[in-house]
Structure 1
Amino acid sequence: MTTKFPKDFIWGTATSSYQIEGAVNEGGRGETIWDHFCKTTSKIANADNGDTACNHYHRYKEDIQLMKNLNIKSYRFSICWSRILPEGTGKVNPIGLQFYRSIIETLIENDIEPIITLYHWELPQVLQEKGGWENPKIINDFMNYANVIFNEFGDVVKKWITLNEPMVFTYLGYLKGIHAPGIADEISGAKAVHHALLAHGETVKLFRKLYPSEGQIGITLNLAPMYPSEDTIKAQEAAHISDGFTNRMFLDPILKGTYPEDILVIIKQQIQEPSVTNNFTIEKDLKTISQPIDFIGINYYSAGFVKEGKQKYEVEPVEMDAPKTDMGWPVTPEGIYDLLIRIKNDYGNIPLYITENGAAYKDNINEKGEIEDMERIEYLKSHLLMCQKAIADGVNLKGYYLWSFLDNFEWIDGYTKRFGIVYVDFKSQKRLPKKSAYFYKNVIDQNGLSLL
């Protein structure tokens, strides 16, 4: 017995530029905040960096042929801003444009639809030195960059994503200092959130001006249901706060034109700086942020479980007794169903894509030269079944992009975590499809899952 997905459902896979490209000093590319962060911090596992990564810059044709062999229908990838504008603004680098033009043409030749993410965390370092996402000037800088890309590739690329996971690059990059650029400051984090969402809205307006009747544009958010770890009022309140910072802080302004009031109360108490916090209620800004979009991309890996912290408004994560991936994240497929249903109920039936979903496990090559990653297969199967259940219950889910196509540079975890359905030997750069790759090919071939 095979459970079928809708006939027009899109089956894809995803990567990001810094995680796979390498060639950081080739083709006129400028320095990014992740290049700088890897060189200047001790926060990366094994002092790894993305200098070579998967060498996709030189091996993209081989990688796209692998996608074709697996019957991948669509490929979501990001563009490195610094390959196009090495100084962040100003002179355009034709070598960078040609690199991405070649990728797009190769994809189309192989009947694989490209979907481009404009920003997957790689801010040009020169712009960071001017304040990065804290500086309101970044909004125009991002629009100018987007304008170059739209004008270059808008004739052939029809699906666009403005930002990938603004919560991560603002919270972890500017509020907590865990990711690049490594700033740990509440005011910096608040500014970065608002400016990132404004840049998204202005870029959507630009896209509509350039392509009023064709193409689609949206944003990708990392979302997760937040469950109380125990059946108490305090745990439920903690879950609501956690949901506010994780989900509503981004969904509400984009889809409702307002930040969540309960979270603004907390932010204003933590940041007693009206010149910053008042920005969250500026009507003109909220109208820009809530420009109509064609879809929301959802990156989902795991649900959260929380309880009340020791301080007022503090929330503490709770480790639940459940199977975990190599990232230490609990395997919670029911969370993706709850999330999809919740978005439909709370925000209307906007088209949705799962733009990332997958799992890291310790993959080992067996004596037959194969990687039998059965845990990953079970993870994917359980989540796909929940996606299908959500569709049956009326969710407007249009496609699924598995993360990741290749094992790659996993940010502060360096090369210690493998998410790929294709194994990469980072020394030899040899590619080896895992059993999960063939599982996914079978899902695509059948447009569904075999339950036998």
Structure 2
Amino acid sequence: MGAGKKRISLRPDFVWGVSTSAFQVEGATKEDGRGPSIWDTRCRLAGGVWTGANADVACDHYHRWPEDVRLIKDLGVDAYRFSIAWPRLLPKGKGAVNQKGLDFYDRLIDGVLEAGITPWVCLYHWDLPQALDDLGGWTNRDCAGWFADYAVLAAKRYGDRVKHFATFNEFSVFTMFGYAIDWAAPGVTDRAAHMKAIHHVNLAHGMGVDVLRDHVPGVSIGAIHNRQIVRPEGGLAENQAAADLLDAHWNGVFCDPQHLGHYPEIMARDVEPYVQAGDLARICRPTDWMGLNHYGPIYAKADPATTWGYGWGAPPESANHPEVGWPIFPEVFKDELLTLTRRYGLPIYVTENGCGGGAGSDTPDENGEVKDTHRLAYFREYQQAMLDAVAEGADLRGYFVWALLDNFEWGSGYGPRFGLYHVDFETQKRTLKNSGKWYRDMIKGHRT
């Protein structure tokens, strides 16, 4: 800390953690009765995933979880945030329960608790059972009820030990990229399907909140939102309308109805045909915290050829960070924390924040050391922005790094690496990167 820089104290109960998700790390996609998900299907479509990669093995967390729990413990964190695979508990998405799937998460949860770590469970991280997608998936209003039934199963089974639950991870990402832009499963590009999916996922969230409240004594409930400021590419006026609509679809269409009881005005007319009497009350249910996944701004440009007329733009090259090698915007992170505090009035946990790197920058050297200097530079700047936000009044209660391990990164396959631990996907050897050592030491420093 520089000379004259005042030390900013975090809350005594501030939570430090790491995050993963089931499909990205577990593997064992065809073992012990697990059913296929929409991402298993996408992995087998030509062009669905970069280099034709799949998550059949991923990090083999399904078999190696005891080792991974030890790695988490070695970092000195308080909490481990992971997701449950819906098709592992209910292979068809509803109906017959898979006992071996239930047993796996029993073992994992018990192992995490025995290590002195608090489990934070997310019920949905994008892996909709394929059998439900065959029935329309999130475009089918019944999917909200199917999710609620799944939530009952998970709450009853694990609620005696798990007290921190999130309903969904990154609503905007999987609905937009799954139903408006073909970057994710199930790969639909249709305006009506996009609006149906948004509304039915919102309904599922509200029903999930009620289920968890009813079945888990002492539960702490939240939902995880990917929020990034949207800017017009090049600052051009002709891209502003695209930026405004993308901002509503990305940042407002879930947070506003869930916490304020209404959809953003700019797109309310589009979703209105699918809203029934009483729906907004079912969606706007009291939660205990908000989860924020944040990486950097989004740039929008007008593109009439796309579903909604907006496309992804490019950030200014002038913003490139000399150590990271690409643009980073820690001040935007600080502003988002303050915006959430002021707009929604709930405690905030940063449930994902991190920095990707290609294999060249995340590879052990001849001494076995992973010198990921780009990630260290990113973390230092974003941690300072987080502290500055707290000093200015952000109600921040915890911070989880994405990710514990290098893993399967959806449509990008095994290209980007976000882990604190390097994973050799041939041998499954885990190696703590320099950024992981920094995170471990930084946590110790905050506790002294």
Q: Paired residue for 1:286, among 267, 280, 284?
A: 280
Q: Paired residue for 1:336, among 317, 324, 333?
A: 333
Please give the secondary structure, in 2, of the residue aligned with 1:26.
coil
Offset at 1:93? 1.1
Q: Paired residue for 2:186, among 181, 184, 202?
A: 181
Q: After superposition, give the CA deviation of every residue in 1:59-113 in whole Å (9 maximum; x if it has no partner).
A: 0000010111111210000000111011111121111111101111111111111
In structure 2, relative to structure 1, the CA distance for the partners of 1:244 and 1:327 (3 Å cut) is: farther
Please give the secondary structure, in 2, of the residue aligned with 1:182.
coil
Whether the 8 Å contact between 2:405 and 2:422 is mirrored in structure 1 is yes
Please give the secondary structure, in 1, of the residue aligned with 2:292.
strand
Residues in 2 aligned to 1:191 and 1:173: alpha-carbon distance in whole angstroms:
12
Whether the 8 Å contact between 1:326 and 1:361 is mirrored in structure 2 is no
Q: Which residue of 2 aligns with 1:5?
A: 10
Q: Which residue of 1 aligns with 2:4?
A: none
Aligned residues: 437
Identity over aligned residues, as a percent?
39
Q: Which residue of 2 aligns with 1:219?
A: 223
Residues in 2 aligned to 1:165 and 1:365: alpha-carbon distance in whole angstroms:
32
Letter of the 2:428 counterpart: Q
Q: Which residue of 1 aligns with 2:30?
A: 25
Structure 1, unpaired ranges of 5+: 268-275
Residues in 1 aligned to 2:251 and 2:174: alpha-carbon distance in whole angstroms:
15
Please give the secondary structure, in 1, of the residue aligned with 2:427.
coil
Whether the 8 Å contact between 1:68 and 1:110 is mirrored in structure 2 is yes
In structure 2, relative to structure 1, the CA distance for the partners of 1:329 and 1:81 (3 Å cut) is: farther
Q: Which residue of 2 aligns with 1:16?
A: 21
Residues in 2 aligned to 1:122 and 1:373: alpha-carbon distance in whole angstroms:
30
Offset at 1:176? 1.8
Q: Paired residue for 2:294, among 293, 300, 303?
A: 300
Q: Which residue of 2 aligns with 1:273?
A: none
TM-score (norm 2): 0.92
Residues in 1 aligned to 2:138 and 2:263: alpha-carbon distance in whole angstroms:
19
Q: Which residue of 2 aligns with 1:323?
A: 320
Please give the secondary structure, in 1, of the residue aligned with 2:254.
helix
Structure 2, unpaired ranges of 5+: 2-6
Please give the secondary structure, in 2, of the residue aligned with 1:69.
helix
Letter of the 2:262 counterpart: T
Residues in 2 aligned to 1:328 and 1:30: alpha-carbon distance in whole angstroms:
41
Q: After superposition, give the CA deviation of every residue in 1:406-438 in whole Å (9 maximum; x if it has no partner).
A: 000000110111010100000000000100000
Residues in 2 aligned to 1:311 and 1:120: alpha-carbon distance in whole angstroms:
29
1:118 aligns with 2:123: yes
Please give the secondary structure, in 1, of the residue aligned with 2:82.
strand
Q: Paired residue for 2:162, among 133, 157, 160?
A: 157
- Compare 432-441 and 241-250 and name the one that shifted more: 241-250
Whether the 8 Å contact between 2:324 and 2:377 is mirrored in structure 1 is no
In structure 2, relative to structure 1, the CA distance for the partners of 1:148 and 1:329 (3 Å cut) is: farther
Q: After superposition, give the CA deviation of every residue in 1:355-399 in whole Å (9 maximum; x if it has no partner).
A: 100011131222221001111011111111111111111111110
Please give the secondary structure, in 2, of the residue aligned with 1:369.
coil
Offset at 1:165? 0.8
- Compare 149-158 and 233-242 and name the one that shifted more: 233-242
1:391 aligns with 2:390: yes
Whether the 8 Å contact between 1:302 and 1:329 is mirrored in structure 2 is no
Offset at 1:338? 1.0
Residues in 1 aligned to 2:235 and 2:53: alpha-carbon distance in whole angstroms:
42
Residues in 2 aligned to 1:178 and 1:330: alpha-carbon distance in whole angstroms:
22
Letter of the 1:6 counterpart: R
In structure 2, relative to structure 1, the CA distance for the partners of 1:307 and 1:42 (3 Å cut) is: closer
Whether the 8 Å contact between 2:323 and 2:373 is mirrored in structure 1 is no
Runs of 4+ in 1 over 6 A off after TM superposition: 310-313, 324-329
TM-score (norm 1): 0.91
Q: Which residue of 2 aligns with 1:244?
A: 248
1:360 aligns with 2:356: yes
Residues in 2 aligned to 1:185 and 1:238: alpha-carbon distance in whole angstroms:
17
Q: Which residue of 2 aligns with 1:270?
A: none
Whether the 8 Å contact between 1:305 and 1:320 is mirrored in structure 2 is no
User: CA RMSD for the aligned pairs?
Assistant: 2.3
1:253 aligns with 2:248: no
